[in-house]
Structure 1
Amino acid sequence: MYDDAERCVRAVRSRDSRFDGWFFTAVRSTRIYCRPSCPAIVPRIENLRFYPSAAAAQQAGYRACKRCRPDASPGSPLWDVRADLVARAMRLIADGVVDRDGVPGLAAQLGYSTRQVQRQLLAELGAGPLALARAQRAQTARLLIETSDLPMGDVAFAAGFASIRAFNDAVREIFALSPTDLRHRAARAPIPLVTVPGSAESSQPAGPAHSTGLAVPMRPVGTLSLRLPFRAPLCPDNLFGHLAATAIPGVEQWRDGAFHRTLRLPHGPAAVALRPRPDHVACQLTLTDLRDLSTAISRCRRLLDLDADPVAVDAHLAEDPTLARLVHAAPGRRVPRTPDPDEFAVRAILGQQVSTAAARTHARRLVEALGPRVDGLGGALTHLFPTMRDLADGLPGLDEAALAFPRSRRIALTALVEALAERTIDLGAGADWHHARVQLTALPGLGPWTVESIAMRALGDPDAFLPTDLGVRRAAADLGLPTSAGGLGAHSTAWRPWRSYAVQYLWATSDHPINRMPDQPRSATA
């Protein structure tokens, strides 16, 4: 959109927050870049320049606006909609791959040469992978500077900078303030505090947890209270309702109006509590290594589908009269996704042709048998979901009574975890959606319902569709739509490329627990 100057100018003049994250507005006279909705932008149009990313604006010599904080705007919905090289690269960069493995590691996961990746990112986003990762590091650093009392050396380490000098230079260049001045400025305008011990010792890496059946000591370096922005509207009912209704005991739970779960992050275990608010999602992160902060935030945003553009989605779906009433009744439905695509693929098989309660029971037994315990979290969070290697090694030794489902489903589960453990199938942030579907379909026992469920919630394809799903077919019958898989599939082509969201609206016609938060009465959804 950034190359359509006339459209960008209209968005800036109307201060339309729907376009925050779609592009960034830079002012030549002040050398500042802003969100399109920034209330401070009143310059002459000829002084405006538009950039597709914050990193591109920074590379062009602009610093971030201190008023609208463009670095904290919702991410571009393009990266969740598209499946091309640039979109896959952006999802991997957000997940911290460049900080962990460098640009060669990014290119290897994408299956392209380093030169090809750099060329395509530069052509479309005006910045290469290093600049994009640097912008993300700066955003993480700012968050820790403003909301914690960590020493600056620990902040630099946690944000992923290689040296204090690189950290200082980046903060001064992007925010036009030293790290100390940035902290002092935040102290004069208090924002939610992050409780983080300030010792350098506390931020040393704890190391990843992979031991099957062993207790993993959870030594938190702190609990961070953050706000996750989103594009309005957001309907929390099916989003948090689905997560709560399908929660695996020990790994997930709904408590005190929030969804809690454990996370397996690159440098150690973590826990998160996510609570819907009118204009943001309150996020409380408990980390064992602060280097995982940006990755944890990215995965939580992906779990809740917070970078979606609900206005575009709903406007398209409402063009179909059969969906219009559902859309207008509860606009802004999101697709409940997952912080761990491999985990969800396993859960999809456990949920084949059984009730939600039965699927939770199977998952709980699997976690208790093979998932590492996590000590020190308190409450009902006691385990990490097992790794695919844990499952591949442990499934053959499990008593068949522990997983009381048909032999064909056990074969399907074994084949899937072996493929994921050996990395012959990639479901991660940089996965090729079409190729992953082909590979999943080739496995025994994975039919269209399972594959499309994985595509919708693990891969994040916004156009996945489940024409054979019982809830979808019942909703179709109530709405007067075709109920056969072929007929409903043909009708759904009008909903493309947002059929995953259409599924959410169809599911919401029932009074199933997935459609309401546990605190809501049954009649609220019915």
Structure 2
Amino acid sequence: MTMTADAATAASAHAEPLRTVYRPPHPLNLLRTVGVLARGPKDPTMFVEGSTLWRAARTPAGVSTVALRQTHEGVHATAWGPGAEWTLGQLPRLCGADDDASGFDVSGHPMLAAIAHRTVGTRLTRTDLVFDALVCATLEQKVTSLQAFGAWRVLVTRFGERAPGPAPRTLFAPPSVDGWRRIPSWAWHRAGVEPPQSRTIVRTAERGQRVADAVLAAQGGAERERVLTSLPGIGAWTSAETRIRALGDPDAVSVGDYHLAHQVGYALTGSRVDDDGMLELLAPWAGHRQRVIRLILAGGPREPRRGPRLAPEDHRRR
């Protein structure tokens, strides 16, 4: 008799969890490093309660839930589910172990140096889960964060899988690659996802795990961008956002972002710039441009608002 995926997850929820302590050889701020992965305060895949970060994922070995808590001893991790062993094995990379900042120097820029001093221990995380990062980035194309986070929440809770373990609130792992492919058109519409974005995700999912495997096998950001942007509907912005989240790319720049160039320009010069101007400003830190962006977003000066917030259009009412 073959056990279904839901039954296997339910059975694993009652199995003994796996535990480890990761002792990073470098300063680490766990919540700052991993917390950037949350897609809004109601993300069904992760949340923080007190000093514990809870995260659900669909790993190559199956669904898992992990609870992370940092003490003076290190990061205490407890994992449940079929993917628990994979999750604990990947934990150092999630905590930025592969983040090599050699050659990165902001000592000549007082504002950036001050932010770096205040945020010491913040590292570039990587999940190694390329398809999930690609879906998140695609949902965020050309819409507000509020719209994208809402769509992610609806789709993951409706078509994902309830995660194992004793989390204080229900967590869900995202759908499998084939699960994303099989989401019906009406469900995308009901979640508020525009047809171009849903088509991109479905068509990419039709290629199966090959896309993620090709990205992981590629050497360097330029080659990974070539692989990603060869897919219909995936441009430079989506490629960069995917590489940042899944692979911790230290040089990725999300060209085409509605706000980013303005934020970078204002922080570094006091004036707005366009994408070309942003790339010119970041050029002295080639190889580490994402690090500069993270510092600016973490504590750089913000341009005063010039008008009301954008009122998102709800295409479901058309």
Instruction: Provide the rounded CA distance (Å) in 1 between the counterparts of 2:153 and 2:49.
Output: 18
1:271 pairs with 2:271: no
Judging by fraction of residues, say which structure has more helix. 1
Match of 1:486 in 2: 276
Matches within 5 A, 1:328-339: 328-339=117-128
Rounded Cα–Cα distance in structure 2 between residues aligned with 1:266 and 1:402: 29
Equivalent position of 1:503 in the other structure: 293
1:379 aligns with 2:163: no
Match of 2:180 among 387, 391, 394: 391
Task: Tell me, yes or no, if the aligned pair for 1:244 and 1:259 is still in contact at 8 Å.
Answer: no
Q: Does 1:216 align with 2:47?
A: no
- Counterpart CA distance in 2 for 1:500 and 1:364 is 27
Q: Which residue of 1 aligns with 2:239?
A: 451
**1:362-391 C-alpha deviation (Å, 9 max, x unpaired):** 111111232123466453234221111111
Q: Distance in 1 between matches of 2:291 and 2:231?
A: 27
Indicate the SS of the match to 2:189.
Answer: coil
| Aligned residue among 408, 414, 417 for 2:202 | 414
**Contact between 2:55 and 2:66, CA under 8 Å: does it hold in 1?**
yes
In structure 2, distance between residues paired with 1:396 and 1:464: 33
Q: Which has the higher contact order (CA 8 A, sep 6+)?
A: 2
State whether residues 389 and 417 of structure 1, in contact with CA within 8 Å, keep that contact through their aligned partners in structure 2: yes
Q: 1:474 aligns with which of 263, 271, 282?
A: 263
Alignment of 1:126-165 (within 5 A): none
Q: Where in structure 2 are the equivalents of 1:25-64 lying within 5 Å? A: none
Does structure 2 conserve the Cα–Cα contact (< 8 Å) formed by 1:455 and 1:461? yes
Q: Equivalents in 2 of 1:267, 1:237: separation in Å?
A: 25
Matched with 2:28 is 234
1:105-254 equivalence runs, <5 A: 209=5, 216-219=9-12, 220-236=14-30, 238-244=32-38, 246=40, 249-254=43-48
Quote the Cα distance in structure 1 between the aligned partners of 2:46 and 2:301: 22
| Structure 2: distance between partners of 1:253 and 1:436 | 30
Rate the CA distance shift 1:436–1:307 in 2: closer, same or farther, 3 A: closer
Tell me which residue corresponds to 1:303.
94
Write the distance in 2 (CA, Å) between the matches of 1:269 and 1:277: 26
Question: 2: distance between equivalents of 1:435 and 1:359?
Answer: 27
Say whether the 8 Å CA contact 2:56–2:172 is kept in structure 1.
Answer: yes
> Is 2:206 the counterpart of 1:426?
no
Structure-2 residue corresponding to 1:358: 147
Rg: which structure is higher? 1
8 A contact 1:465–1:499 mirrored in 2: yes
Closer/same/farther in 2, CA of residues 326 and 247 from structure 1, 3 Å limit: same
Alignment coverage as a number of residue pairs: 297
Deviations 1:397-439 (A, max 9, x none): 44343231322222222233223x1614536643444333123
TM-score, with length taken from structure 2: 0.78
**1:335 Cα deviation from its structure 2 partner:** 1.9
- Deviation for aligned residue 1:511: 9.6
* Corresponding residue number in structure 2 for 1:15: none
